[in-house]
Amino acid sequence: MLIQALLKSNTERNIPMAGNIKSILAVLMIALFFVACKSGKNNPGYEFMPDMYRSAAVKTYRVSNFFKDSLSAREPVVGTIPRGINNYFPYPNTNEGYLAAGAELKNPIPLTDSVLEKGKQLFLINCKHCHGEKGDGKGTLRVKGDPFPVPSYFDAVHLALKEGNMFFSITYGKNLMGEHAYLLTQEERWELVHYIQHLQKPYLEEQNKSASSN
């Protein structure tokens, strides 16, 4: 009963109030309208929820108050490895570079079965179509009467190749062979060198045998 009476009296009282509230709101809105606009072209006036269009993220190369030194462009964390450093190769693509790489470079990756297996997979994907699955130069890209056929890894010249020369030629390419530096990491190229030497092994042993019997 009491609640009903209260509700009734409240609604009765509110009906005449509703008109007043509306007009007060209207006045406030108009006032806000004037307050929100400011003279001066460069002043945007009052902004509602400014973070919606003014991101808190730092703008590139702008001063930032977040860090004590006010720099927004931060130094890389100590020990950061720049992208592409894996491809740093100090030997220039010249004949001198080729000879120096052959004389100085040693395969930094220890030979294991899994390295050989990885080298084999890389070889089948990247090299087989020219060099042939066995490395004899009889890949599917071989053209009959080709004036520059892909060589076999097992002729005297290629059996005598140093690992640094192989790495150099895989990196930069050689004559008809394209460069592979952008396709394969240095590690992958050294794994390939291991695999080529693995293919050459029986031929090298054969060569040594016939050399000692002569």
Q: Which residue ranges make up the site for ligand HEC (CB under 6 A)?
A: 126-127, 130-131, 141, 150-151, 158, 161, 165-166, 169-170, 174-177, 180, 192, 196
Residue with tokens 């390295």: 115
CA distance 38 to 43: 7
Give the nearest distance from C-beta 139 to ligand HEC in angstroms. 7
Nearer to ligand HEC, 64 or 137 (CB): 137
CA distance 124 to 130: 10
Give the nearest distance from C-beta 89 to ligand HEC in angstroms. 15
Give the nearest distance from C-beta 113 to ligand HEC in angstroms. 19
Nearer to ligand HEC, 105 or 192 (CB): 192
Nearer to ligand HEC, 165 or 186 (CB): 165
Nearer to ligand HEC, 71 or 181 (CB): 181
Long-range CB contacts (< 8 A, 24+ apart) of 170-175? 171/89, 172/93, 175/148
Half-sphere exposure at residue 193, Cβ-oriented, CA atoms within 13 angstroms: 27
Torsion angles phi and psi, residue 177, rounded to 5: -90, 130
